[in-house]
């Protein structure tokens, strides 16, 4: 199914209740609005997370980049803004393997979106091996950080991983992965958005950049920020009046309620 052409994805930096959409280099030109989360991920995944403020300052010289980086989908549910954790390069043991594979899945999804096809990932051995690999590493090293309360990982996946951790008293990670008990967890992880979230959590858990990556509570809070610049860069440059997503939302709601024939 083709995605709604009005929905776009943006990278922002913000703090103290306010955020600004950032320009990124896309095939040699500056761009800020992307057709899908995977399209945006492909522009940030090779930027080292610790160097992101310095790298992005080149394209956004007049924006304060001392806050959190976060992604948003806008509009979401008509007028709302939905937040996501961004994907930057995180250096850790085996980090290149996980990021290279995630980039492969992002490229696949991005290609499908551009063609107007389903965003579902191909069910192939590359996906199967990746899902098995990340589950194996989480279970083998008893990595419960990825399922903490404020983790980016979805509740259903957390529940399945909790059950898997319980089974580790009498079962090896390999044994679990080859059992029927692992089927539901594997099915839940064959979607790009869930796969990206558990990958981010896993990489962060093995690194020293925990303070740089927003958790689910931060993400929900960013959606409530006054987020500016959520429009194509060309339009933003000529706009005389800068409105945040919240100002636009309440302006539109006011128009909807207005009825000139009402007595």
Domain ranges of the chain: 1-91+211-263
The alpha helices in the chain, defined as continuous H runs, are: 37-44, 52-57, 95-114, 125-140, 155-167, 173-177, 183-188, 192-205, 216-222, 233-238, 245-257
Provide the pLDDT confidence category of residue 236 given band limits of 50, 70 and 90.
confident
Provide the pLDDT confidence category of residue 246 given band limits of 50, 70 and 90.
confident
Nearest to 41 by CA among 125, 106, 99, 135: 106
- pLDDT tens track for 145-156: 999 999 999 999
pLDDT at 4: 44
Q: How many residues does the chain have?
A: 263
* CA 198 – CA 184 distance, rounded (Å): 15
Task: Locate 213 and state its tokens.
Answer: 């990556």
Q: Are 28 and 236 in contact (CB under 8 A)?
A: no
- In 3-state terms the chain splits into helix, strand, coil percentages (rounded to 5) of 50, 15, 35
Say whether pLDDT at 1 is over 50.
no
Pick from 77-86, 129-138, 235-244: least confident: 235-244
Tokens 């806008």, residue? 74
Calculate mean pLDDT across residues 214-237.
94
Provide the pLDDT confidence category of residue 129 given band limits of 50, 70 and 90.
very high
- pLDDT tens track for 101-120: 999 999 999 999 999 999 99
Provide the pLDDT confidence category of residue 138 given band limits of 50, 70 and 90.
very high
Calculate mean pLDDT across residues 25-30.
96
Say whether pLDDT at 252 is over 80.
no
Say whether pLDDT at 263 is over 50.
no
Mean predicted lDDT score pLDDT of the chain: 93
Provide the pLDDT confidence category of residue 249 given band limits of 50, 70 and 90.
confident
Task: Locate 112 and state its tokens.
Answer: 């499908």
Residues 6+ apart with CB under 8 A from 78: none
Rounded to two decimals, the pTM is: 0.92
Helix (H, G, I), strand (E, B), or coil: what is residue 180?
Answer: helix
- pLDDT tens track for 47-80: 999 999 999 999 999 999 999 999 999 999 888 9
Calculate mean pLDDT across residues 160-172.
97
Residues of the chain with pLDDT > 70, as a percent, come to 93
Tokens 């961004």, residue? 86
């Amino acid at each position: 199914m083709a995605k709604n052409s009005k929905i776009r994805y943006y990278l922002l930096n913000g703090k103290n209740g306010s955020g600004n959409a950032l320009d990124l280099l896309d095939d040699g030109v500056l761009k800020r609005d992307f057709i899908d989360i995977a399209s945006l991920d492909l522009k940030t995944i090779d930027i080292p997370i610790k160097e992101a403020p310095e790298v992005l300052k080149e394209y956004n010289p007049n924006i304060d980049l001392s806050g959190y980086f976060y992604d948003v989908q806008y509009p979401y549910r008509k007028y709302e803004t939905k937040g996501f954790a961004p994907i930057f390069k995180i250096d850790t043991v085996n980090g290149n393997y996980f990021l290279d594979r995630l980039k492969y899945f992002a490229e696949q999804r991005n290609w499908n979106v551009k063609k107007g096809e389903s965003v579902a990932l191909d069910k192939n051995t590359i996906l199967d091996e990746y899902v098995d690999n990340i589950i194996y590493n989480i279970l083998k090293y008893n990595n419960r950080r990825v399922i903490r309360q404020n983790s980016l990982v979805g509740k259903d996946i957390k529940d399945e991983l909790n059950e898997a951790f319980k089974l580790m008293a009498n079962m090896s990670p390999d044994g679990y992965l080859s059992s029927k008990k692992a089927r539901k967890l594997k099915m839940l992880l064959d979607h790009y958005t869930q796969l990206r979230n558990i990958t981010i959590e896993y990489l962060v858990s093995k690194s020293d950049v925990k303070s740089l990556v927003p958790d689910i509570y931060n993400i929900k809070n960013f959606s409530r920020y006054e987020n500016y610049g959520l429009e194509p860069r060309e339009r933003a440059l000529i706009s005389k009046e800068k409105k945040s997503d919240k100002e636009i939302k309440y302006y539109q709601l006011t128009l909807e309620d207005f009825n000139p024939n009402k007595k």
